[in-house]
Amino acid sequence: MLLLFVGDIMLSRGVENSVQIHGNDWERPFAPIAETLRKADILFGNLESQISDKGRNVGSIYSFRAHPKSMTALQYGGFDVVSVANNHSFDYTKEAFEDSRSRLYRAGILPVTDELVIKDMEGTNIGFLAYSNFPGPALATWDTLENISREIAQAKTKVDILAVSLHAGEEYAKEPTDFQKTFAKTAIDSGANLLIGHHPHVLQSLEQYEQGWIIYSLGNFLFDQTFSPETMRGAILRVIIENKKIQEVSLLPTHITPTLQVKMTE
């Protein structure tokens, strides 16, 4: 069984403008990489823009809300599960957040926060939880870490493989923060098999810890941050599951083109 995990996906602002310039083709952003993505039995990403036409901008100049038609991009790419626990969850109020979640469900894509989501793949149960170190859903802080540890332990009793997503860290920092490292190791100690990190918008390290694997940040997968080579690079975490256990883990490098398409990096 093949699991693929990608980092930050933002379908608003410059990405939406690029789509409009190129004939309103929402398949275009993932077209160069769709064949690779579709090989996954489960494809996971972090969705940083609400897909909605509801709500109102709460005031930040970095507020993201993507056109409802942008759902086509996620469907075309073959996404099965997306984290919606991040610092942009409530950019357009809870109304847009809930509308976006409903649209994802209707599109056959499971939004995940701190409520366990399970995909049954050929008799192997793959579970997903998602947390964020920012105000909003599924808040993860030093104060909530003990409770989260219990949630993870309980979730692991219901699944064979548990992937925990964490939105945390410092933007553009190449090294994880103390909170990222502590949360990740606590998650693995509590039963998680995979810790999937995002938010820094640049790649951070992959490491094996005890019985699990940690990727502190997968970087940008699709974003309009074209101001540096680092923010235009990302990676796909490739995980092979056999006999209900992780057999192989690797990173597949990707990059974002100047016209905001995602491609594999040779």
Q: Give residue 210's Cα distance to chain centre.
A: 23
Dig out the tokens for 9 from the structure: 């996906």
pLDDT for 168 equals 98
Tell which phi-psi region holds residue 21, choosing left (phi > 0), alpha (psi between -120 and 50) or beta: alpha
Q: What percent of the chain has pLDDT over 70?
A: 100
Q: pLDDT-derived band of residue 36, with 50, 70 and 90 as boundaries?
A: very high
pLDDT for 266 equals 82
- Give the CATH fold of the 2-264 domain: Purple Acid Phosphatase; chain A, domain 2 (3.60.21)
- Render pLDDT for 121-160 as a digit per residue (tens, 0 to 9): 989 999 999 999 999 999 999 999 999 999 999 999 999 9
Mean predicted lDDT score pLDDT of the chain: 96
> Which amino acid is it at 41?
D
Q: pLDDT-derived band of residue 60, with 50, 70 and 90 as boundaries?
A: confident
Q: pLDDT-derived band of residue 62, with 50, 70 and 90 as boundaries?
A: confident
pLDDT for 58 equals 87
Could you tell me if 216 and 176 are in contact, meaning their C-beta atoms sit under 8 angstroms apart? Answer: yes
pLDDT for 122 equals 86
pLDDT for 27 equals 97
The whole-model pTM stands at 0.97
Task: Work out the average pLDDT over 183-204.
Answer: 98
pLDDT for 59 equals 75
Spatial CB neighbours of 193, under 8 Å, sequence gap ≥ 6: 161, 162, 163, 211, 212, 213, 246
- Rounded to 5 degrees, what are φ and ψ at 135? -55, 135
Is the predicted pLDDT of residue 8 greater than 90, yes or no? Answer: yes
Using DSSP's 3-state secondary structure scheme, residue 121 falls into strand
Antiparallel, parallel or unpaired: β 212-215 and 194-198? parallel
Could you tell me if 55 and 68 are in contact, meaning their C-beta atoms sit under 8 angstroms apart? Answer: no
Distance in angstroms (rounded) separating the CA atoms of residues 88 and 42: 24
